[in-house]
Amino acid sequence: MARLKKIIIGILSVLILLNLAIVGGVWYLRSKGSENIRNENQTNQEGYYVTYQGKNYKYNDDMINILLVGVDKKGNIEDEVEGIQGLAD
């Protein structure tokens, strides 16, 4: 009985340590990744504020904008007539 208890405690300890390592690794990568993105993409004051309908809006540094463009068919786009290249709007 004591041996089974030691095995269960050992397995639980390994699982807890593995879980802590994964959570710590994800946290580290998120903090370093967002820090690198912010450092690489410094904006000047001109692009930092936007005026829309008379109100000034400040750029949100905590957001990351990613553009994904989808292509609906294979082949060269240049060979097609303009407007029917199979690109997603």
Name the residue ranges covered by the structural domains of the chain: 2-58
- Return per-residue pLDDT of the chain as tens, 89 residues: 789 999 999 999 999 999 999 999 888 888 877 666 555 544 446 667 777 788 888 878 788 878 888 777 676 666 555 666 555 55
DSSP conformation class of 16: H
Instruction: Give the torsion through C-alpha atoms of 81, 84, 85, 87, to 10 deg.
Output: 160
